[in-house]
Amino acid sequence: MDMREPTISVVIPAYNVAPYIDAALNSLAQQTVRPHEVIIVDDGSEDDTWQRMCAFPHPYRVELISTDNQGQGRARNLAIARSSGEYLYFFDADDLLEPDFIEKMQEIIISRQYPDIIFFSGDAFFDEGAQGVDFVRTYRRGCAGEYLTAAGLLAAFERHGGGSCSPCLYLSQRRLWSGKLRFKAYYHEDEEVFYPLIFAAERYVVVDEVFFQRRIRQGSTMTMSKNRKHVRGLHVLLESLLALYRDPAYRDCRRHIRKRAIQYTGQYMNVCRDVREPYDMSLLLSLILGFRNRWMCLKIAFHTLNGSLRATIKRHLNRRRLVSH
């Protein structure tokens, strides 16, 4: 067994997070074992995020980068290209880590003989003033173990509801990112890169221990009002899922990919309606013909109905659900 200390690079994109970045960096500074390096990319912030990054007394090897605003995905890609650790961890500049995160990850890497990806759990907490935010999401994996196939891993996530795509909830070998695998420059880039990353790997470890704390706050990417950038991101995500579904190499994962595509199709059509963006009918037709699934067809048909008819159907289904209970 390889007993040397594995190296972990921490990648942090930062954009207008001046009120939060000190706490995030403190959670790194207080680690019981220091990371190999920390790379922070200020993505064209309009507040004093950059000044706070520079003033913070970093006790670890750090590289600070300032760029024009290009989006979180491109900021991460820039840091990936500059990283040198064996493993990459993507951390957000407004969140927190448990103090033994790096230490425990190194222990798992050694004891499990260098798995390709390690998934773990997280919790969420509400920032002051964000208690009224309508946001509910679980960051618990709900399962634990070692998986030798992507199909087995995804099936476990599906059974236990632990399939969060957030890159803050996994550690991955840097070599997996050495080819064309990169974050897209659109919203929903986390979901789009998740499946190609899993399919590039061969061995996965899941632990249900909480190492990450997600801050729920006003104005973050997760809680902000939807706009046309969300439409574009979901469009790219659906195209990616359809391409994976058609690839015979991932035949064992087709059912899971189809299920997620149906879910994201509903999101795409909801966001289009909310921001008054016309549906891309060529995309919807491609989804119908590509997946050839009745639930996909019903999802698209339901969302293309006018609002009053859609509301009537929802009321009818809700009444039937109440009667059945």
76 SS3 class: helix
pLDDT of 186 reads 86
DSSP state of 219: T
Residues 14, 72: Cα–Cα separation, whole Å: 8
Phi, psi of 161 (to 5 degrees): 70, 30
186 SS3 class: coil
User: What is the token pair recorded at 163?
Assistant: 């399939």
pLDDT of 110 reads 97
Residues 317, 51: Cα–Cα separation, whole Å: 54
Phi, psi of 297 (to 5 degrees): -60, -45
Identify the burial level of 48 via C-beta atoms within 10 angstroms of its C-beta, where 0-12 means exposed, 13-18 middle and 19 or more buried.
Answer: middle
Q: Which residue has the tokens 């997620």?
A: 260
Q: Which CATH superfamily is domain 8-216 in?
A: Spore Coat Polysaccharide Biosynthesis Protein SpsA; Chain A (3.90.550.10)
β-pairing verdict for 170-173 and 117-126: antiparallel
180 SS3 class: coil
| Region label for 188, one of left (φ > 0), alpha (ψ between -120 and 50) or beta (otherwise) | left
pLDDT of 132 reads 55
In the chain, what are the domain boundaries?
A: 8-216, 228-324
Phi, psi of 249 (to 5 degrees): -65, -20
Q: Any bridge partners for residue 126, and if so which?
A: 216
Report the greatest alpha carbon distance in the chain.
64
pLDDT of 302 reads 82
Identify the burial level of 264 via C-beta atoms within 10 angstroms of its C-beta, where 0-12 means exposed, 13-18 middle and 19 or more buried.
Answer: buried
Rounded to the nearest 10 degrees, what angle do helices 150-160 and 254-274 cross at?
Answer: 60
pLDDT profile of the chain (325 residues), mean per 10 = 82 97 97 98 97 97 96 96 98 97 98 97 83 66 95 95 93 94 92 96 97 83 73 96 97 96 95 93 93 90 70 63 56
pLDDT of 323 reads 57
pLDDT of 138 reads 74
Q: What is the DSSP string of 88-150?
A: EEE--TT-EE-TTHHHHHHHHHHHTTS-SEEEEEEEEEEPTT-TT------------EEESSH
Identify the burial level of 157 via C-beta atoms within 10 angstroms of its C-beta, where 0-12 means exposed, 13-18 middle and 19 or more buried.
Answer: buried
β-pairing verdict for 87-90 and 62-67: unpaired
Residues 73, 12: Cα–Cα separation, whole Å: 11
63 SS3 class: strand
pLDDT of 1 reads 46
Residues 87, 64: Cα–Cα separation, whole Å: 19
252 SS3 class: helix
Residues 87, 174: Cα–Cα separation, whole Å: 5
